[in-house]
Structure 1
């Protein structure tokens, strides 16, 4: 199985440096162009299945990339739920929630919150998606449109990276394909998108 997975196109909140989590903001014109570019580079690939997070920015991106295919929307591919951090800037969070912010980036195994998901919760949710869509190896090629931190979790599952080293894989830039192969129970990373130039949540 070959897996093509990408972060949604740039959004208004991406542009303003505002944390989205499971809230949403629309794609920018650049974000739409990113999705169109992915369509052009993949229009000749015959995907067996197309999966998208059910959040609007991912689904809107997916509709542009794969306009003629049925899209399987799933909550399992949502971005991590960061509770009341959503709608705030990274600087605001770093200042107002210093201890939790430090745990999030520097000690992810000890990051827990009552109003959202832990890193463990995210990994378990993504693992459930893998169990449903990838591990059965029923398809030859699939497309996945998801989110930055969710993709970090995907890479870490593929590369067997422990939660303590969660951020070894950084958030990738919007609008680039990452490609992996899954065969005989093993993943091979074929392509990683460029890293995002700034920390992202």
Structure 2
């Protein structure tokens, strides 16, 4: 079985460089609902994909329509991005990356402040991987950058061999996961 995991297209939204906690949370909500940039194009990886899976966020659906015209994807919240919110309530204006990194540390340590935890994200990735193994068909998966890393680790633990992987996936980039049933 060949699974191609693709990062969604470029979102048409500019994040503030510095913000307080409320602005950070608002920016994340607006980013999640923003459309793709009209200039975004991509060519789908070649393959006879029986199914195409997208997350519940619109940008993955829109990416599917660009990459695989005429195909109707299967939506699943199992491959949604790892949500982030401000690591604390504060009026202090910090660089956006500080909010991101501190929020990811809270996610790693399973802090209740974040909407998800590392444990819950891994559980979602495992459920999705189990479903793929049970279906045992070539497919494409359009998801999100941070979640791609979690999914890649879970797939490797479940016997997939990973190809074309990188540390930071750009919009429209992908990796391949090959599973050979033993």
Q: What's the TM-score bracket when you normalise by the shorter of the two chains?
A: 0.7 to 0.9
CA contact (8 A) 1:13 1:20 kept: no
Poorly superposed stretches of 4+, deviation over 6 Å: 14-19
User: Is contact 1:12-1:27 (8 Å) kept?
Assistant: yes
Correspondence for 2:67: 65
Pairwise CA RMSD of aligned residues? 3.2
Structure 1 residues without counterparts, runs of 5 or longer: 162-168, 186-201
Q: What SS class does the counterpart of residue 82 from structure 2 fall into? A: coil
Q: Match of 1:29, SS?
A: coil
CA offsets per residue over residues 11-50 of structure 1, 9 Å max, x none?
A: 12367678647833211134x21xxx223x43xx321111
Question: In the alignment, which residue of structure 2 is the partner of 1:112?
Answer: 111
Aligned to 1:191: none
Match of 2:2 in 1: 2
Match runs of 1:6-155 below 5 Å: 6-13=6-13, 20=28, 23-30=32-39, 32-33=40-41, 37-39=42-44, 41-42=45-46, 45-84=47-86, 91-92=95-96, 94=98, 100-101=102-103, 103-104=105-106, 108=108, 110-132=109-131, 134-139=132-137, 141-155=138-152
Deviation at 1:102, TM superposition (A): 6.9
How many pairs were matched up?
161
TM-score, normalised to structure 1, is 0.67
TM-score, length basis structure 2: 0.73
Alignment correspondent of 2:20: none
What do the CA deviations read for 1:72-118 (whole angstroms, capped 9, x no partner)?
Answer: 01111110121357xxx9823616x88x447258xx2x142335001
Cα offset, 1:67, TM superposition: 1.9
Task: Determine the C-alpha separation between the residues in 2 that align with 1:120 and 1:60.
Answer: 29
Contact 2:28 2:85 in 1 (8 A): no
Give the secondary-structure state (helix, strand or coil) at the position aligned to 2:149.
helix
Consecutive unaligned residues in structure 2, runs of 5 or more:
18-23, 88-92, 159-165
Note the alpha carbon deviations across 1:108-144, whole angstroms, 9 max, x for none.
2x14233500111111111111112x111431x1010
- Counterpart Cα distance in 1 of 2:94 and 2:155: 28
